[in-house]
């Protein structure tokens, strides 16, 4: 199991980005959170088997959100055993 932190930049707030990511997550075996940051970015944490997480990230790009994303940084990390389910966080 692996975890990824993704920081999305672009037109990613106020356009249903977090809700869409949450809906996309339902199609994958991943857990995590997605939240807006004060600087205008969106922070996604997702974890699961690496192939599943990578497919989830591709699913986000293919969901129609790809046009809103100007840039993203991806950082792989050790999983968080307390991270269960997938939710939008404040």
Active site residues: 18, 36
DSSP of the chain = -EEEEEEEEES-SSSSHHHHHHHHHTTSS-EEEEEE-TTS-EEEEEEE-HHHHHHHHHHHIIIIIGGGEEEEEEEEE---TT--SEEE--
């Amino acid at each position: 199991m692996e975890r990824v932190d993704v920081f999305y930049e672009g037109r990613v707030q106020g356009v249903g980005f977090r809700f869409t990511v949450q809906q996309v997550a339902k199609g994958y075996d991943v857990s995590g959170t997605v939240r807006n940051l004060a600087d205008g970015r969106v922070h996604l944490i997702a974890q699961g088997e690496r192939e599943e997480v990578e497919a989830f990230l591709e699913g986000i790009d293919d969901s129609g959100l790809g046009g809103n994303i100007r840039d993203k940084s991806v950082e792989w990390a050790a999983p968080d055993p307390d991270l269960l389910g997938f939710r939008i966080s404040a």
